Structure 1
Amino acid sequence: MRRAVCPGSFDPVTNGHLDIIVRASRLYDSVHVAVMINKAKKGLFDIDERIALIEQVTAELGNVRVEAFNGLLVDFCRQREIPAIVKGLRAVSDFDYELQMAQMNNGLSGVETLFVPTNPAYSFLSSSLVKEVAQWGGDISHLVPPQVLDALNEKLRQQ
């Protein structure tokens, strides 16, 4: 069975993230979406909310499993016998950082990294940008799945 992981913080998951996950699910038999726990960072959505949103928007794929992870991604991969990491690249600046991470991960464990160019429609998109635009009342309906839009609007109303 061909397995891969799509890691990230997904706070919140965007259409750009979803594009990469869907494309990975077409290439691999099983795709794990590893949702990073970063205790040093206070996210808008807690880990359980992020997992639930990703599960909702990937439910129809059938071969996607969503899990939290804390620590090194290579340990997550080793524990699950996952030989490949799939990462989306938006711009050259992403490549500089991601190449270093890919080389480190390969050196630590032999895990390969597959870089997938982002759909040009999402080349500017980040969770941080989505949150900022939403906080100022901008229309982000074309940038996130409907479930995420509803959850984000509700979360911002509570603040």
Structure 2
Amino acid sequence: MKLALYSGTFDPITKGHKDIIKRASRMCDKLIVAVLNNVSKKTLFTLEERKDMVEKSLEDILNVEVIEYSGLLVDYMKQRDCKYIIRGLRAVVDYEYELSLAYGNFDISEKEIETVFIPASKQFLYVSSTIVRELAVYNGKLDDYLDSYVIEKVRDKVKE
């Protein structure tokens, strides 16, 4: 596998995301991390803020390129001649949703793009950006879920 892509909203990026990215980066020469502008999701952070947090969180992984993207991911992947989408799985619910996306991407890419699933590490099975945002609202402990730079950004945003 030469070039792969891992995408997400990353609102904010969690240690669970980072774990999947680190593991995926060992499977390819270059991993593109696409911070998505998903118009159907209401985010706490702007696209630029999310990209900044992702870049800071991943600066120690040398073969990662962080981009922001709006649109059909398959179109971008075709432009870059990228054939592999990496997706993390936490639970059965994730699997059903991700499987439907994998089949959809495979079909619309004319059977060119494959999805590779990486199971979440045990300590991150229950971590999600949604849970982290809720914890932050109630001033909960975030150290186990987020890098320190991201914690600072989340705390500042929640205060606004």
Aligned to 2:29: 29
Classify 1:37/1:3 alpha carbon distance in 2 versus 1 (closer, same or farther; 3 Å): same
Shift of 1:37: 0.5
1:40 CA drift (Å): 4.1
* Correspondences of 1:6-155 after superposition (within 5 Å): 6-109=6-109, 110-155=112-157
Deviations 1:138-159 (A, max 9, x none): 111110111100111111122x
Unaligned stretches of 5+ in structure 1? none
TM-score (norm 1): 0.95
Partner amino acid, structure 2, of 1:143: Y
C-alpha distance in 2, partners of 1:23/1:148?
A: 20
| SS of equivalent to 2:39 | coil
Compare the two structures and name the one with the higher helix fraction.
1
Deviations 1:32-85, CA, capped at 9 Å, x for gaps: 111110234331110111111111111111111111111111112111111100
Task: Give the Cα separation in 2 of the matches to 1:82 and 1:111.
Answer: 8
**1:67-114 C-alpha deviation (Å, 9 max, x unpaired):** 111111111211111110000000011111111110111111120000
**In angstroms, what is the RMSD of aligned CA positions?**
1.1
Q: Give the percent of matched residue pairs that are identical in Structure 1 and Structure 2.
A: 40
Give the Cα–Cα distance (whole angstroms) in 1 for the partners of residues 40 and 100 of structure 2.
22
Moved more, 16-25 or 33-42: 33-42
Unaligned runs of 5+ in 2: none
TM-score by length of 2: 0.95
